[in-house]
Amino acid sequence: MTTPTIDATSAEVDTIAPVVRMVACGSVDDGKSTLIGRMLAETDSVPIDQLEYARTTRRGGSTIPVGEVDYSLLTDGLEAEREQGITIDVAYRHMDLPNGRRIIIADAPGHEQYTRNMAVAASTANIAVLLVDAARGLRPQTYRHLTVCALMGVTGIIVAINKMDLVGYEHATFEELAGGVKAAAARLGLEDVTAIPVSAVTGANVIETAPDKMPWYHGGSVLEVLESWNPPDVDNAQPFRLPVQVVVRADGNFRGYAGTIANGTVRPGDKIAVADSGQTATVASIVTYEGEQEFAQSGEPVTITLDREVDVTRGDLLSAPGEGQVQPADKYAADLVWIGEQPMAQGRSYLLYCGPKIVPATITAVRHRLDVVEGHKHAARRFEMNDIGRVEFATDSPIPLDPYDECRETGGFLLVDRVTSDTVAAGLTRYALRRGDPNIHPHTYDVSEEDRSRLMGHDGKVIWMTGLSGSGKSTVADATVAALHAQGVHTFVLDGDNVRHGLNRDLGFTPSGRAENVRRVAEVAKLMKQAGLVVIVALVSPYRADRRAAAQIFDEGDFLEVFVDTPLAVAQERDPKGLYKKAAEGDLPNMTGVGQDYEAPENPDVRLDGQADVAENAALLSQLILGDD
């Protein structure tokens, strides 16, 4: 691969970005489909058979005579939405401008419920074309889109004040609306705003300027502005970042680190640091299929070799050393765009994906929810789909993240649900709250876990019993422990009620409270297991994701999930603590099985029939525990 002829020392070279990513925002009513469709058609960016389709096909409600092109049909995609006449997702299209530039358009629907799609489309965009209906004026939508653009790092905004034909091409109307948008944009820190009066229907100021209709306008058409606009200069002075996607190994001991440069530049001889471990090395070569390369910059996929052996795996971040080095941290403040169908649960463990890096992360605090129309910050305890706001999160191990505004690729991340594997949030790192303390190193004990096992005569183990309140967990746990104890096994029971009297007395029964309860009990169980005990946890632990997170801090085989399967009706009938009665009277809104769901394990290691004889169940469990050794 050849390098684009931009050199670090001559960044001012008279070149323009060959490819510009654009997000189109505004609703169907604003005439967005017509504007985009017309630009696609008039730049020859759609095949003629699709153009012919738009000339002959008509949807219900269309007033455009057959034979003329209904431009809005060119941007419709799925059958389902054609029937409903709306766009329901982000669509990507290309447009070739006369000067050779390629525009990749992300077309985001305008309805309020699709803020998430707007965020997706804006996440990779350099520029936005924001539609405003001149006849209807600025609407909440306009502010929402501006806010999302600012948040996601879109730097250029073209405001197309559309339907000028409906307001008599009046100069004053345009100035008023343009002024309003610019003021709102300025408040959000958006400086590069160009307002253009257009009529997508008549084509005025879309491809060519229309001095006959709007002699008072002296700027360029939408197409002209798209041709000449440039993203802020690629600042090659920015510190180098290379997230390692693949370690390439080949004959002759070749070992290269491949990935796409996220920021800055690289040359052979440059010093780099592995951000995750702090090890440093010097770049020996930049290897390509065609041979070695002397220089590479942001956006280029490269394979580099280092002058010495360092420990680098997929997910590590190669960084400029010294001042430009990114330090790992395990606590950050970030803005989240919540896109999951399930609301966010504070305290629950999600998987954080940043480029090739994956690490478990927990939302530890919600600072505020952002009103994307008014710009106000509201107190909030959780987010629902399409909410945007500020949180704090902690990761299981320190990771290097950049502030999003400095680098999208190393500052933007996804949160993924452990059970559904759905992406539930997009995160924008703002700043680190706690750098990994270089003074805290896990201490290696002289007496190992194996040593303790030998002395105990058995291995430590964790038996995690989950089930409804009243399912019989504690009863079976007690009986099991009695049986084991009699055989000389060192045991302990961590019972939900007991733990909540002490260690966890600050926690409630909301989904977040339960997540933290499970996390703490799992950590305590782990310490006890390391001490050599067989630990039986008896905890409702109703959520799959929480149980899965608990299991994941143990090695395989050290953790057994036991489902005490008792029908809700039976548990309610037993009601040993009178809790179901209280819940029925409305006193316990968070009661599992009543106000909250119980997510039964899909594949537990053991399923106990909660209605079977207690001694039988205990015998089964102890046999399993002993037999394993």
Q: For another protein, which residue of 197, 347, 355, 542 counts as binding (CB under 8 A)?
A: 355
Residues 364-423 that bind another protein (CB under 8 A): 408-409, 412-414, 416, 420-423
Task: State both tokens at 104.
Answer: 């990749």
Q: What is the CA radius of gyration of the chain?
A: 30
Q: Which is nearer to another protein, 204 or 477 (CB)?
A: 204
- Told to check if 78 binds another protein by CB under 8 A, we report yes
Residue 311's closest CA among 339, 346, 273?
A: 273
Query: What dihedral do alpha carbons 429, 435, 440, 444 form, nearest 10°?
Result: 30
Q: Beta 412-416 vs 349-354: how paired, if at all?
A: antiparallel
Please tell me the distance from the alpha carbon of residue 597 to that of residue 543, in angstroms, as a whole number. 8
Vertex 165: Cα angle to 163 and 169 (nearest 5): 105
The closest of 375, 353, 50 to 187, measured between CA atoms, is: 375
Q: State which residue, 82 or 582, has the beta carbon closest to another protein.
A: 82
Q: How far is the CB of 248 from another protein (least distance, A)?
A: 5
Q: Is 90 in the site for another protein (CB under 8 A)?
A: yes
The answer to whether 72 and 201 have CB atoms below 8 angstroms apart is no
Region from 59-67, 132-140, 354-362, 498-506 binding another protein, contact rule CB under 8 A: 354-362
Residues 4-43 that bind another protein (CB under 8 A): 4, 14-16, 18-19
Nearer to another protein, 31 or 412 (CB): 412
CB of 224 to another protein, least distance (A): 5
The answer to whether the Cα torsion of 470, 475, 476, 478 is positive or negative is positive
3-state DSSP assignment of residue 270: coil
* 409, 124 Cβ separation under 8 angstroms: no
Residue of 93, 144, 348, 500 interacting with another protein (CB under 8 A): 93
Total H helices, total E strands in the chain: 16, 28
Q: For another protein, give the closer residue by CB, 424 or 536.
A: 424
Which bin fits 300, alpha (ψ -120 to 50), beta or left (φ > 0)? Answer: beta
Contacts (CB under 8 A) with another protein, residues 421-460: 421-423, 426
Stretch that binds another protein, among 79-87, 189-197, 433-441, 547-555 (CB under 8 A): 79-87
Which CB, 61 or 100, lies closer to another protein? 100
How far apart are CB 298 and another protein at their closest, in Å? 10
Interacting positions 101-130 with another protein (CB under 8 A): 101-102, 104, 107, 116-117, 119-120, 123-124
The answer to whether 294 contacts another protein (rule: CB under 8 A) is no
By CB under 8 A, the count of residues binding another protein is 83
Close Cβ partners of 311 (under 8 Å, ≥ 6 residues apart)? 274, 277, 279
Active-site residue, selected from the candidate residues 471, 512, 541, 622: 541
* Residues in region 146-205 near another protein by CB under 8 A: none
One residue of 259, 389, 472, 593 binding another protein per CB under 8 A? 259
H or E stretch covering 497: helix 496-501
Residue whose CB is less far from another protein, 197 or 460? 197
DSSP string, 393-437: EEEEEEE----TTT-HHHHEEEEE-TTT--EEEEEEEEEEEEE--
**Angle in degrees, 0-180, between the axes of helices 140-152 and 171-187, rounded to the nearest 10:** 40
Per rule CB under 8 A, is residue 336 in the interface with another protein? no
Residue 85, phi then psi, degrees to nearest 5? 70, 20
Site string for another protein, 505-544 (x = CB under 8 A): ----------------------------------------
What would the two tokens of residue 210 be?
């229309």
Of 179-187, 210-218, 455-463, 610-618: span binding another protein (CB under 8 A) = 210-218
Out of 56, 62, 99, 282, the residue judged to bind another protein by CB under 8 A: 99
Nearer to another protein, 3 or 202 (CB): 3
Tokens of 261: 């440069």
**Torsion sign across C-alpha atoms 477, 479, 485, 487:** negative
228 is annotated as an active-site residue: no
Q: Which two tokens stand for residue 161?
A: 């004040």
- Residue (81 or 165) nearer to another protein, CB: 81
Closest approach of another protein to the CB of residue 48, in Å: 5
The token duo for 605 is: 């290691």
User: Minimum distance between the CB of residue 206 and another protein, rounded to whole angstroms?
Assistant: 15
61 binds another protein (CB under 8 A): no
Q: Is 261 exposed, middle or buried (0-12, 13-18, 19+ CB in 10 A)?
A: buried
Question: Which window, 299-307, 372-380, 499-507, 556-564, contacts another protein (CB under 8 A)?
Answer: 299-307
Q: Is 66 in the site for another protein (CB under 8 A)?
A: no
β-pair partners for 598: none
Which parts of 583-622 interact with another protein (CB under 8 A)? none
Nearer to another protein, 575 or 599 (CB): 599
Asked if 76 interacts with another protein (CB under 8 A), we say yes
Burial (CB < 10 A; 0-12, 13-18, 19+), residue 446, is exposed
The tokens describing 550, both together, are: 């608990």
Query: Among residues 43, 155, 260, 280, which is the contact residue for another protein, using CB under 8 A?
Result: 260
Using rule CB under 8 A, residue 242 touches another protein = no
Binder among 220, 400, 460, 472 for another protein (CB under 8 A): 220
> What is the nearest approach in angstroms of another protein to the Cβ of residue 331?
20
Minimum CB separation from another protein for residue 414, in Å?
Answer: 5
CB 359 within 8 A of CB 395: yes
Q: Which of residues 40-59 bind another protein (CB under 8 A)?
A: 44, 47-50
Active-site residue set: 541
